[in-house]
Amino acid sequence: MTKPINDLHPNMGEIFKGYSDLLAEVVNFGTHILSWDIDQANGGDEQLPVLLIFRNILEHLDAVSLLIRQSSVEPSKNLLRVMFESLLNLEYMLDNDCERRGLAFLVCGYHTELKFIEKISEDTAAHYQLKQKFKADKSMPSGLPSINIPGKREQEQRILKILALPLYREAEAEYQALLSAGKKNPSWYQLFGGPPNIDQLATKLNRQGLYELLYRTWSNTIHGQNVIKGNMTNGIDTGVAQIRNPRDAKQVTLHACNIALLLFQFFITKRLPQEKNKLSIWYKTVQPEISKLR
């Protein structure tokens, strides 16, 4: 096995075990909230998005905990951005008309899957366009390989039958209306007169401050535009900083905790008001550690 250059890739060990343990505790309590909501859930498909978005945030928070433990701080920021965007999605869904918005979320998801099936089906214009892209890609000299996914057409028919159900009729009609208006890939929150983009979604939810402070900054990291800041050493011997740079570990941990606390607070207020006391009691156990991060 190749040994790393220690100055660039040192074995940091678990130097942020305390931060990681705190995040793990937040995840653990989050699983209780999710379990409480599952236990009292009633209804149909429209309930799934709420549960799955909440789970998605927990899973990304859990990943941040694992990365922080090993001092892999910079990649954690990518996960924080996903958590924040999911937070906005869930808060908007729970803010009003939850069932209709949940169905809008599912309809957009189904259409994303239908578009994928169309792209990999050889008798479609979308597949031809995909082949042209692969042909022009210098890293794909052989072009698009043959794609054979058994049951794709059967899955397509299943989705079309679901979208034709009375439960989905209103959201499907709204989706088709947006397509007719020229919106090629509408986000679910655009349906029924919702915000046109993530920026306006944050504004509608009065989260525009967090959006400017965190989301836009993290966008630079996501899109590879922030490769200089924080990745150079300072001082007399300026150079390339090590991988697993511990800088920003405290800040990332604090942001992760804050996103989770916002999630827990509004989720319990909207869905589980009978559990408010449990949240309050639990928060007192982690509040001293969170305060140390500020």
- What pLDDT, in 10s, does the model give residues 196-232? 999 999 999 999 998 987 777 766 555 455 555 555 4
Cα-atom radius of gyration of the chain, to the nearest Å? 22
- What crossing angle do the helices spanning 48-69 and 74-95 adopt, rounded to 10°? 160
* Whether residue 234 has pLDDT greater than 90: no
- The DSSP output letter for 273 is G
How is residue 113 written in tokens? 């899957």
- What crossing angle do the helices spanning 98-119 and 166-180 adopt, rounded to 10°? 70
Average pLDDT, the chain: 89
Side-chain-side CA neighbours of 204 within 13 Å: the count stands at 18
Best mean pLDDT range from 13-17, 58-62, 245-249? 58-62
The pLDDT, as a whole number, for residue 7 is 62
What mean pLDDT do residues 11-28 have? 88
What mean pLDDT do residues 175-198 have? 96
* Whether residue 122 has pLDDT greater than 90: no
Is residue 90 within 8 Å of 57, Cβ to Cβ?
yes
* CA separation for the pair 230, 240 (Å, rounded): 9
> Chain-centre distance of CA 112, in angstroms?
16
The pLDDT, as a whole number, for residue 115 is 95
What mean pLDDT do residues 138-153 have? 82
The percentage of the chain sitting over the pLDDT mark of 90, rounded to a whole number, equals 66
- The DSSP output letter for 275 is G
* CA separation for the pair 68, 74 (Å, rounded): 9
* Whether residue 192 has pLDDT greater than 90: yes
- Cross-strand pairs, 232: 240
Is residue 87 within 8 Å of 211, Cβ to Cβ?
no
Q: How confident is the model at residue 252 (pLDDT cuts 50, 70, 90)?
A: very high
Is residue 144 within 8 Å of 80, Cβ to Cβ?
no
Which distant-in-sequence residues (6+ apart) come within 8 Å of 55 by Cβ? 34
* Residue 169 or residue 224, greater confidence: 169
* Whether residue 137 has pLDDT greater than 60: yes
The pLDDT, as a whole number, for residue 236 is 47
Which distant-in-sequence residues (6+ apart) come within 8 Å of 289 by Cβ? 18, 22
* CA separation for the pair 294, 290 (Å, rounded): 7
Predicted TM-score (pTM) above 0.85: yes
Range with lowest mean pLDDT among 91-95, 105-109, 145-149, 277-281: 145-149
Q: How confident is the model at residue 166 (pLDDT cuts 50, 70, 90)?
A: very high
